[in-house]
Chains A and B, each alone.
Chain A
Amino acid sequence: MIRLVVALLAIYATSAHSEYLYGLTGNMAGAGHTWGMNIGPSGSQSLKINGVFYQYTPTKNTEDDMLVHVRNKRVGGGYIFSSTDDWSGLQGGIPITKGFVIDNLPIELWGDGSIDIEGTGSVVDANVIYSYKYNNDCLTPMSDPSCSGYIDAVLSMMGESKVEVYDPLADENIADVIDDKAELDEDVQQEDEEKAEAKDRLQRMLSGVNDSILYANVSSQNLLMFAMSRNNNLNPYYDKKLSGGTYKETVVLDGGQLPDNKKGARAGLAQQILHTKMVNSQYEPKE
């Protein structure tokens, strides 16, 4: 577990980005020709010197030899910054000013600063200023993963504090909420089923109505089609016309005499007799 945390913290630390803040010191040589390097905001981490500017006015006789060293000791020996002005044979009285760009050297390497004079003469109105940059996020190691000591601080905090595993299912409040939610879900599900059933009934009813309407439509359409076809079928007969218009008598009475049909007369008389007989039979008294 701890290995995983360390790995994640290391990855996060390498990917994290922090911005630098920049600043200038005051005149470090204002109180004398030696000074300490307690610069920057209190407790600031990753402070780096990126510039040195100095100015002073030499006081000397022109014929005197004088070297002026403006420098800082390096922690561990030597000088981390040194600039020498050779005023030998030169007149004083005119201020000299110089500026140097420093390659972001950590403050931990910078020892005390000083203006040292070799020869005869002095320096007045000295002004030494350092420019620096720092990362304010590292005032406390845990404020930024990029700060040195971040991982150690996190692990230290984990070791010092009692780690309690939190089981959310054991929390009564959460259990109550889960139960309430389950009941609510059940109610909602039941309500949904009722709605679905009502909807189904409604759909079936609407389906019957739709069938009746459809049947009625089909019947009416059939009647309409029948009427239309009937009309179409009868109209040709109404429009039918006989050709010619006059049919003349073509039967010719042979001999000029039309004799009685005796056979017909006999059949007619027999029918008449039978008819009379039938008519009279209804008036005859019944036995």
Chain B
Amino acid sequence: MKNLLIAVVLLASSTSVLAADTPIVGNVQTRCLITTDTNGVFGNPLPSKLSTASADGGVVPVVRYDVTLADAYLAKVTTPTAFSASPSLSDSVTWTGSTAVSKTSDAAMSGYEAAKVTYGSTTQFDLTKAGSTWFSSTATAVYGVSKSFPGGSYTAIVLAECIAK
């Protein structure tokens, strides 16, 4: 019994010596960079309406995609469907929004706008060229049925994503 125990211990110690963790290290260089070019501002043309349109006194948010690898990424921009911060609201808010190419760094990117795909509040662009593309989003929120928004600060978020194809 004693010899068996010693043998088991030796066997266990010998196998533990043979084990080794070999790390594999790698770095992935960022090839799609998203930068907020312009922060949006809600205008309040009507008591029941908040809008980023310049005609409504707002500022359209602009986000820039810098892509260094062509035809490798999709740009997904989602306009807000709710306030991330606001006074307490007792009624429903109706959201509308859209995203469009506002500026490019290459003439070949001019087809992005025509080729965009929209579903729900999300607009998807195929970034087939390397370079910078500016996307502007409009967002409009209407409270209830012509109901006045409570006074306070309202914040909404435009979600911009870069999805590898």
Contacts and interface: CB of A to CB of B under 8 A. Distances in A.
B153 to A, nearest CB: 32
Contacts of B110: 58, 87, 90-94, 96
A97 interface: yes
B104 A91 contact: no
Nearest to B133: A94
B103 A55 contact: yes
Contact of B105 (A68, A86, A91, A96): A96
A139 B47 CA distance: 58
A138 B38 CA distance: 39
B111 A91 contact: yes
A93 B104 CA distance: 11
Contact of B106 (A68, A91, A92, A96): A96
A87 B103 contact: no
A98 interface: yes
B102 A90 contact: no
A85 interface: yes
B108 A94 contact: no
A117 to B, nearest CB: 13
Contacts of B161: none
B107 A58 contact: yes
B106 A94 contact: no
Contacts of A85: 106-107
Interface in B75-122: 101-114
A56 B101 CA distance: 14
Given A90-B110, A91-B110, A91-B111, A98 B103 contact: no
A97 B107 CA distance: 9
B103 A95 contact: yes
Contact of A87 (B107, B112, B114, B132): B107
A97 B114 contact: no
A96 B103 CA distance: 5
B105 A94 contact: no
A138 to B, nearest CB: 36
Contacts of A91: 110-111, 113-114
Which 3 residue pairs across A and B have the least CB separation, nearest first?
A85-B107, A90-B110, A95-B103
Interface of A: 55, 58, 68, 85-87, 90-98
9 contacts: A87-B107, A90-B107, A91-B111, A92-B110, A94-B101, A94-B104, A94-B113, A95-B102, A96-B105
